[in-house]
């Protein structure tokens, strides 16, 4: 999806925000909603990374506090021709990860403790490469702004039920308020979904090319999908508008139809990666988690800028 389409989707979210404002307060409500949406976009442009990282209690690590993780991110960033992002760890049992930041120069990659514990280094490399692909595609700003506005629309729609008034007072009335509570968050969810699903396929493809082994990411996705249904991420459950930022949907999904999922089918993503592996002639499966590693990079120990040596040797 190109940037023009992304801009249209963000404009759609802003229009939804204005529509809810109009239903609550008429013309003046729409103007106020527009100003609030503009302020939110400006604020999240400069503070998107800090907002979401703080929400999930992520703490920054470096080469001294988490050398293996930090060095892996550094190696992959070099392979992707990206500046070194900041690296964060979330104390969360569910294996998952996301990237954030307004541009590649101010980006951050955050992974959960569960991700580091349950994946092999090769699978972890596939996940981190996927997040770096989001950074390279400049997805992180769009995804964070979308989450912020979508969450605000949901809250505003809830307020509409209490402050909508009645038709004589230029409010939407009780029926309009109920409809607004249902349709406004649904519309925001659909736009949010349209942004996320397309970009996940693109990030999978580029991430697989960064590591050169699509099956590493495919194996990681299978594990993450299975774990997401078994290990709840309570912070994500409390903030569902941020679910699309993660590599796999962190929500339990109980009672939610797949039509409204924020991510494409994991099975379809794995199938696309398998097809890419066949095209590239790379069908190498990752080592099991906890397996010993030889003193070489997981990319075969070749040297040069296209495959620098990693933290293993």
Give domain status of residue 47, yes or no: yes
Question: What's the pLDDT band for 313 if we cut at 50, 70, 90?
Answer: very low
For residue 123, say whether it is annotated as part of any ligand binding site: no
Give domain status of residue 294, yes or no: no
**Predicted TM-score (pTM) of this structure:** 0.76
Q: Considering only CA atoms, which of 272, 271, 227, 228 is closest in space to residue 251?
A: 228
Given a cut of 90, whether residue 70 has pLDDT beyond it is yes
What residue numbers bound the domain in which 26 lies?
3-280
Bridge partners, 190 (sequence order): none
> What is the tally of structural domains in the chain?
1
Give domain status of residue 308, yes or no: no
Conformational region of residue 98, where left means phi above 0, alpha means psi within -120 to 50, and beta covers everything else: beta
Asked if 129 contacts 88 with a C-beta cutoff of 8 angstroms, the reply is no
Give domain status of residue 292, yes or no: no
Q: Which two tokens stand for residue 218?
A: 């495919």
Q: What value does the mean pLDDT take over residues 270-286?
A: 87
Question: What's the pLDDT band for 289 if we cut at 50, 70, 90?
Answer: low
Give domain status of residue 128, yes or no: yes
The rounded distance, in Å, linking the Cα atoms of 19 and 164 is 13
Active site residue 92: no
Q: Which two tokens stand for residue 271?
A: 């199938």
pLDDT at 139: 86
Catalytic residue among 122, 131, 237, 279: 131
The more confidently predicted of residues 287 and 133 is: 133
For residue 200, say whether it is annotated as part of any ligand binding site: yes
For residue 130, say whether it is annotated as part of any ligand binding site: yes
CA 203 to chain CA centroid, Å, is 10
The rounded distance, in Å, linking the Cα atoms of 133 and 139 is 9
Give domain status of residue 8, yes or no: yes
Given a cut of 80, whether residue 285 has pLDDT beyond it is no
Going by the DSSP 8-state scheme, the letter that residue 255 receives in this structure is: T
Residue 229's Cβ-count burial label (10 Å; 0-12, 13-18, 19+) is middle
CA-atom Rg of the chain in angstroms? 21
pLDDT at 172: 53
Q: Considering only CA atoms, which of 245, 246, 248 is closest in space to residue 220?
A: 248
Given a cut of 60, whether residue 171 has pLDDT beyond it is no
Give domain status of residue 303, yes or no: no
pLDDT at 47: 76
Neighbours of 106 (CB within 10 A): 17
Give domain status of residue 310, yes or no: no
Given a cut of 60, whether residue 64 has pLDDT beyond it is yes
């Amino acid at each position: 999806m190109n940037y023009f389409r992304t801009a249209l989707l963000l404009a759609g979210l802003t229009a939804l925000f204005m529509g809810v404002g109009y239903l609550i307060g008429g013309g003046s409500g729409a103007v106020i909603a527009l100003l609030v949406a503009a302020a939110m976009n400006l604020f999240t442009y400069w503070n998107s990374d800090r907002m979401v990282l703080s929400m999930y209690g992520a703490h920054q690590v470096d080469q001294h506090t988490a050398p293996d993780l930090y060095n892996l991110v550094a190696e992959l960033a070099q392979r992707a021709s990206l500046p070194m992002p900041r690296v964060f760890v979330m104390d969360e049992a569910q294996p998952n990860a996301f990237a954030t930041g307004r541009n590649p120069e101010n980006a951050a990659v955050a992974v959960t403790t569960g991700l580091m514990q349950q994946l092999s280094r090769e699978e972890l490399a596939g996940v981190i490469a996927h997040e770096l692909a989001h950074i390279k595609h400049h997805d992180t700003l769009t995804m964070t702004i979308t989450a912020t506005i979508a969450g605000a629309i949901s809250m505003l729609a809830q307020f509409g039920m209490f402050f909508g008034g009645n038709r004589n007072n230029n409010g939407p009335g009780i029926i309009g308020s109920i409809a607004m509570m249902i349709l406004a968050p649904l519309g925001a969810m659909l736009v949010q979904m349209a942004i996320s699903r397309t970009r996940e396929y693109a990030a999978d493809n580029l991430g697989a090319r960064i590591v050169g082994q699509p099956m590493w990411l495919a194996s990681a996705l299978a594990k993450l999908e299975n774990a997401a249904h078994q290990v709840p991420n309570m912070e994500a459950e409390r903030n569902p508008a941020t679910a699309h930022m993660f590599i796999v949907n962190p929500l339990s999904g109980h009672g939610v139809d797949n039509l409204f999922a924020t991510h494409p089918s994991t099975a379809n993503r794995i199938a696309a990666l398998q097809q890419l592996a066949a095209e590239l002639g790379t069908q190498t499966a990752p080592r099991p988690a906890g397996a010993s590693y030889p003193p070489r990079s997981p990319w075969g120990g070749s040297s040069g800028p296209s495959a620098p040596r990693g933290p293993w040797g």
